[in-house]
Each structure stands twice: as structure tokens, then as C-alpha cells.
Structure 1
Amino acid sequence: MKIYLVGGSVRDYFLGKIPKDLDFVVLDCKEEEFLKKFPQAKKVGKVKSVFYIGRDEYTLSSYENIEQDLEHRDLTINSLAKQEDGKLIAHPLALNDLEKKILRPVKRQNFLDDPLRVFRAARFWAELPEFILSEELVETCRYVVQQKDIWEKISPERIGQELCKALKSKRPGNFLAFLENVRGFEFWFEELKQASQIPAGPRPYHKSSVLGHTIRLMNELAGDFWAVWMAFCHDLGKIFTSPDLYPHHYGHEQKGIKVVLALTKRLKLSHKMALAGKLASLYHMQAGNYNDLRPGTKVRLLKNIEYFLDPFFKLIFADSKKDYLAQAKKDLEIIKQVKLPTKFQGLGPKSGEILLSLQGSALKNANKNCAKTS
């Protein structure tokens, strides 16, 4: 049995990062032998022999040696391994590409064998935005995305996982920028195919395409998963606008809900992500004029987006440069303090209407008092 530390765990060492999880490859070993040495190991999946010991992953490789294993990896910077004695084994270009910060494929066939690697490459560029894309990587991914028959090899959950990792990255918009570059929106992100050709809106409010605007906001909001995801979703409805109406996008808030729900269903994303995306699409235009809203409208808005209040208003600030978060928090606290009197309880929908009216009145009075003292 030979055990090697591999991939990102070794790469991160050279980049001065501390890896959260460690990945190992085990050669010359059968499952029974591995479990005998590591009885605490938990097997995952049914096809490959992959085990977890705590958070560390161990893959039992069928290759004859570690050099063969490294030849079948995605990028040269991930084609690295360390023996138990610390000796480094690397792809001939791995250290050069790490030093010069280049994302380069090991070989095209590896991407054809596992087309998910197109989306992994997109995610790596989001995580490592200081790296440049090699011509070989762009050409390889463009070639792979043209092979329509291989897309069924990928499970939607795996693409969803790559997207979610990108949303947590240093420059999340690079995920979309990469896919646009390699023409990779086909099939899994089909709604975005024309997004780079659609104006985001009338000048001077918007100077780029729907895709460019979305990428910019995602990058501005990096570090907040939910804000980045809501930025991804907020303008998806604009892809349904008739070209005759450009650069305006009347009613895109409602239209975006359909796209968000289709996308989250296709990629098997969580119900929470579907809800957050739906709310971002539906309410971002309304919230962009928060101070001008009627008290009752504010109450409905705040109650609907309460769970995502912080990331939602971060999106609004990135989108409109209007900072309403502090005021929205104050207003929400006022709303929460209003209780429905006993005599109005148990009246069905009418009870809800009365509570809404009372909350709106409380908000109106509080804002009046605030205006008098300011």
C-alpha cells in the first residue's frame, strides 16, 4: 500500500494556503486491506473506491503508479503528489504553471472523459483569479462543449456543487466569464446564452450587457454567498425581453422567477437557493426605491425578505448605490413589535389585513417622528 497526498492539498502548499481538507490517493491496495488498516474509514459512492477519514478523502487508484494517476488529472497545477516521506512528484509543467500562475489542462482527453472538468476549470478561475487562462485550456473547453453527446455523463448535482463553490470564491463572476469565453452556457445554463448580447438597461444607469452587469455585481459582493447568488439571479428575467423594447426591461422582475425556478430545479439546488433567487428577482427593483415606498408596501417587502435581509440589501446597494440596510433593519424591528389585539384574532384573512394595517401605521408614525427630530 502506497499513500500519496495529491491535488489541491499540495497545490495550496505552494500557494501559501492552508488546505481545509486533504486528498489522498492509495495505490496497490484493495478495499479490504484499506479497511483493515483504517477501520474508521467511511466509504462514499458506489462506482469508485472513495473513503473518508474525518474530512480527509482517500481514493483507491487502479493505476499502476502515481505518474499514471497524475496524467489523468484536470489541470497541471493539480497534477501534484507527495509521498509519505515528503518527496514531490509533479507533472513536468506543474511547478512552472504555479510560479507563472497559468491554468493549463493536462490533456484534452481528460476533459472528454469527464466533461465536468469544464465547470471545475471555471470554478478554479473564480478561486484563483490571479491566474491566467492558457490558450490550451480555452481551446480544450470550447472543443468539449461542442460534443453534445457527452453532457449526459455529468450529474446535475455535480454542476450545482461547482457553482456553489464558485459562489463562495474570491471572484465569483469569473465562473460566468469563463463559461461565456468557452461558449459553455449550452444545456446547463442555456438561459444565459444570449445574456452578453442583451443591454442591461438604459444609460446612464447601465453601460454593459445583462451578463456583464451580473458578473460585476457578483464580484463586488464576493465573500457573501447569499448576496452573490442573489446577484446571479436578480436580472435573469431580462433575457425574456423583446428586442423591440431594448434597452428597457419592463416586468422583468416577474419573468425572472420562471428562470430561477427552472435553473435551480435543473441543477438540483436547494429550496433555500430557489427562494433566495426568486426574492432577488421579484423585489430588487422595488427595494431600489425603498425610501419612496408606502408603509404598507415596506411591511410586505420586509416580511417577505426578512430571512435574507442582509444579503438582499447588499445586492440593492451594489446594484443602485443606495444603502438602505440600516433603515430596513430599524423598520423591521418596528414591525415585529406590533401585535394583533385579541379582539381581531381568529378572523381568517381579515386578521392578516388588520395586522398589516397596524404595522404600516406604526412604521408611518415612527418615520414621522424620525423626520421631526432630524
Structure 2
Amino acid sequence: MFQRALPPASLRSIWPEGGVLVGGAVRDLLRGNVPNDWDWAVPDPRRAAETLAATLGGAVFALDETRGYYRVSVLSGTEAQQHDLVPLPPRLDDDLLRRDFTVNALALHLNGAVSDPSGGQRDLKARRLRMVSEANLMADPLRLLRAARLSVTLGFGLEAQTREAVIRLARDPLPLPAPERVREELHALLLHPQAARGVLLLDELGLLPLYLPELSDCRSVTQGGFHHLDVFRHSTEALHQLLLRFPDAPLALRWATLLHDIGKPPTREELGGRVRYHGHERVGAELARQRLEALREPHTLTAEVSALIAAHMLPLPGNEREARRFVHRRRALLPGLLALMLADREAARGPSSSDASRLAYQQGFDRLLAALEDQPAPEAPLLSGQEIMAFLGLSPGPRVGEAVRALAEARALGDVQTAEEARTWLLNGGWHSGAEQG
């Protein structure tokens, strides 16, 4: 099947000699979108890559010199673009028919012809994601996860036979793909505005136990009290509430919101007819750390997610002083922690939730926002560690750190405001008893 679809002039000017554009870039162009990732099949990949890099002002990277795979990376302003170049196959249609989904089994020629051996253009028009064949899904287990991700990010419905095939293959799973590949698919899903719907689709397709087993374990774990949903549905609803209010939420905050209650199943207890999850935030923080490390997430992101989950059950302040202390102690997690706590609360509308409880929660938030506005950044220390050591006659050691931290908190609470007040406060020994709890 062929359709005329002349490439835009800007694309024709960089078209590699004798090459064709293949895959998702063709799909995006036919939908009227400009892709960031371009896949080219060309007679001479190395030469084409060097020419393209010179034209676009990019850099060439050899992905696999033996097979002739090259990449050209281009940075234009804040936009990153990459062009992958591979050898042109002797039989293009045969190569397209080995791809995952029909809407990706497309090739665009310089003269505007579209090679479409599997009917991908019909599926594009119908907004339908359909596998080329079940054998192709089995050839790369990551394609099961891609089915869910593409369905959500493209806004396409899964064709019935494709859905059935994914569910069937998920029940008798193939070896799991490399963690880094799984991570990139999950990132694409979580960073989409409909991320919560994507997680629900993973569950419907039977993929959740394979890729996020701790979240899968939350299914059918009932809660009661403030909650009207089981732990899994509450978690996805919290992610939905987060993105309604904070559509630009960073990836770490999205992960933390989705995984914030995965510590509940292993900590669930029934005492006197009441259910509780004592310490679930600590257990959940550790489970999230393990899962993200298994996905080869960067250490900084993993640590942030774990810290957010560990702190999400902190009580909101009842007065201005408590609010200032909260901001001082949790500044590194703000404002993300507040967004997580708000999403968690808005996803809980059980019988214990009332207008009065919601008002009290809002007042606590207002106090924190006021304190954060009043102290948008840490204040410079009134006395350095060396000055404190000299003034108190201390030797280097833990007690110096204790004094530095206590003085910083005293300043955040408004107890001291000048260097002289700081010296008086230290001399009076208030820091020996440690900072107030809260």
C-alpha cells in the first residue's frame, strides 16, 4: 500500500542520499507532528552520518561499527534531536514486517511514497494500535510494555487481538528485557499527562507484576478510614491528583507519588477490628529504593524518591512555630513533599474524611506555605563552626555539628537573629538538650 506524502522542504534538504525514513518518525510526520528521534535506512550509514552531522551541526557516535549503526546528536536551543542511521535492507518491506506495531512499520521515501506492507496508515487513521504479528511481540519482550506505553502516549486504543496477545504473553512471560530499556519505557509513561491511566493499563494487561511487583501487591488491599479505594487504586488516583495540580511535576515526584504506599501490604495489621499500617512509610521508602535501583535509576533520583516516601506521613503543623521548624528540617524535599502530601490527601475520600478534617489539613498547608514564603532559602549562618568552637572551647567532633545544627534551627524559628544573640543562646546551653522534636 502506498500513499503520496511529500516530506516537508526542511526535511528534504537533509535527506541522506539514497535513504528512506522508517518507523516512528514516519508515523509522527503522517500525524502532523515533528519527531525528535529519526531513524534512517541508508546505503552508507557512516558517510550519511558524517554528512548529516556537518549539515545540522551535530556530533556522530558509532553505536555498532561492525553492523554499521551510527547516531547523530543535535542540540538546538533546549531541544535535543537524534538521527539513527542503519544499513538499507535489501528487501525493505520484509524488514518493516519484522517491526512491533503496524503504525511503526512504515517507511517514507524522498519522492513522497509511503511503504506500508501491514496497513499501518489505516490504523493511524482509526487511532488503533495493532501488532504486526504475535511472533513479533515474542521476538522482543519489551514490546509488551511498549504496547501500553504507546497506547497512552499516542492516545490510541489497543486492537482486540493485540490486547489478548499481550495478556496471554504476560501470563507466560518471556525473559524480562534489560532494566535500562524497561526504565526508559516507564519514564515515557510516567512523564505523560495521562500517566495514571497508563499504570491502570499496565494492570489490565497483566504487566504490573512483571515490572512493578510491589505496586501490584497493593491490589485489593483495603484500607477504610480516610480512604475509599484500595491501596493500588489510591496510589494511581494520587498520581492523577498530582498531575491535575502540578502538570510539570518532575519524574522523582511522580515516582514517589505512585509508590508512596507500597509499604502498606507488608505492614498491614488488624487490631481490635481496625486496620493499621504502622511504619509503612519507612518500609515503602526501602522497597522503592530497591525497585528503582533494580531499574538502574540514578542514585540522586532514587534517594529523593525514597526520602519523599519516608516523609509523606509527617503531621502538618498546628502553629507558625511548628511550620517554621517543618520548613527548616525538610527544606531539601520542598515543595515536592507538599505536593505529594496534597495529592495523597485529595485521593482519600473515605468515611473519616469530613469538611472539618479537610479544613484542618488546608490550614496546615497554609501555615507551611506561609513559612516557606517567609524563608524561601536557608539563611547564612550567624556563626561559623570555627567561631562556635572557639567561643565554646570545643574540639572538632560531633558536638560541634550538634551546636551548628541547633543554632541554625533556633534562627529559623526566630529565637535568635544576630550574632550576639547567637552567642548568648549558645552560652546559656539551650543546644545541649537538642532541638525540639517535631
Under a length normalisation based on structure 1, what TM-score does the superposition of the two structures give? 0.83
Identify which range, 3-12 or 59-68, moves more after superposition: 59-68
User: 1:262-273 to 2 correspondence within 5 Å?
Assistant: 262-273=290-301
Aligned to 1:22: 38
Aligned to 2:407: 358
Query: In structure 1, how many angstroms separate the alpha carbons of the residues matched to 2:34 and 2:381?
Result: 49
Residue 96, structure 1, aligned to residue 122, structure 2: yes
Residue 192, structure 1, aligned to residue 241, structure 2: no
Match 1:289 to one of 300, 316, 324:
316
Q: Deviations over 1:88-124 (max 9, x none)?
A: 1224432222222222212111110000011112222
Match 1:56 to one of 82, 85, 88:
82
Q: Deviations over 1:131-177 (max 9, x none)?
A: 222222221112222334x314x211110111122222221123322
Aligned to 2:22: 6
Query: In structure 2, how many angstroms separate the alpha carbons of the residues matched to 1:107 and 1:247?
Result: 47
Partner SS for 2:62: strand
Read off the aligned partner of 1:253 and give its amino acid letter: E
Residue 310, structure 1, aligned to residue 335, structure 2: yes
CA, structure 1 residues 241+157, in 2 after alignment: closer, same or farther (shift >3 Å)? Answer: same
User: 1:154-303 to 2 correspondence within 5 Å?
Assistant: 154-199=177-222, 201-203=223-225, 205-220=226-241, 221=243, 222-224=247-249, 225-242=251-268, 244=270, 247-286=275-314, 289-291=316-318, 294=322, 298=326, 301-303=329-331
8 Å contact kept, 2:41–2:88? no
8 Å contact kept, 1:72–1:110? yes
CA, structure 1 residues 328+247, in 2 after alignment: closer, same or farther (shift >3 Å)? Answer: farther
Aligned to 2:419: none
Identify which range, 184-193 or 131-140, moves more after superposition: 184-193
Identify which range, 96-105 or 349-358, moves more after superposition: 349-358
Read off the aligned partner of 1:110 and give its amino acid letter: N
**What is the aligned-residue RMSD (CA, Å)?**
2.9
Query: In structure 1, how many angstroms separate the alpha carbons of the residues matched to 2:374 and 2:221?
Result: 36
In structure 1, runs of 5+ residues without a counterpart are: 367-374
CA, structure 1 residues 60+20, in 2 after alignment: closer, same or farther (shift >3 Å)? Answer: closer
8 Å contact kept, 1:295–1:360? no
Q: Deviations over 1:66-89 (max 9, x none)?
A: 221221121222222101222112
Match 2:152 to one of 126, 141, 149:
126
Read off the aligned partner of 1:202 and give its amino acid letter: G
Larger radius of gyration: 2
Read off the aligned partner of 1:365 and give its amino acid letter: G
Identify which range, 232-241 or 109-118, moves more after superposition: 232-241
Aligned to 1:340: 383
Residue 78, structure 1, aligned to residue 99, structure 2: no
Question: Greater helix share, 1 or 2?
Answer: 1
Read off the aligned partner of 1:279 and give its amino acid letter: A
The alpha-carbon deviation at position 270 of structure 1 amounts to: 0.9
Match 2:91 to one of 65, 70, 73:
65
Partner SS for 1:219: helix
Match 2:167 to one of 142, 158, 161:
142
8 Å contact kept, 1:166–1:175? yes
Read off the aligned partner of 1:161 and give its amino acid letter: E
Read off the aligned partner of 1:344 and give its amino acid letter: I
8 Å contact kept, 1:235–1:253? yes
Partner SS for 2:383: coil
8 Å contact kept, 1:236–1:281? no
8 Å contact kept, 2:196–2:236? yes
8 Å contact kept, 1:188–1:266? no
Under a length normalisation based on structure 2, what TM-score does the superposition of the two structures give? 0.72
Partner SS for 1:22: strand
8 Å contact kept, 1:302–1:332? no
Identify which range, 356-365 or 179-188, moves more after superposition: 356-365
Q: Deviations over 1:314-367 (max 9, x none)?
A: 22222225556733533654643443355424653223332333333333338x
The alpha-carbon deviation at position 197 of structure 1 amounts to: 1.4
Partner SS for 1:60: strand
Query: In structure 2, how many angstroms separate the alpha carbons of the residues matched to 1:253 and 1:261?
Result: 12
In structure 2, runs of 5+ residues without a counterpart are: 1-16, 54-59, 74-80, 347-361, 390-394, 416-438
Query: In structure 1, how many angstroms separate the alpha carbons of the residues matched to 2:387 and 2:46?
Result: 67
Partner SS for 1:42: strand
Identify which range, 96-105 or 356-365, moves more after superposition: 356-365
Read off the aligned partner of 2:40 and give its amino acid letter: F
8 Å contact kept, 2:269–2:277? no
Aligned to 2:372: 329
The alpha-carbon deviation at position 290 of structure 1 amounts to: 4.3
The alpha-carbon deviation at position 232 of structure 1 amounts to: 2.0
CA, structure 1 residues 13+44, in 2 after alignment: closer, same or farther (shift >3 Å)? Answer: same
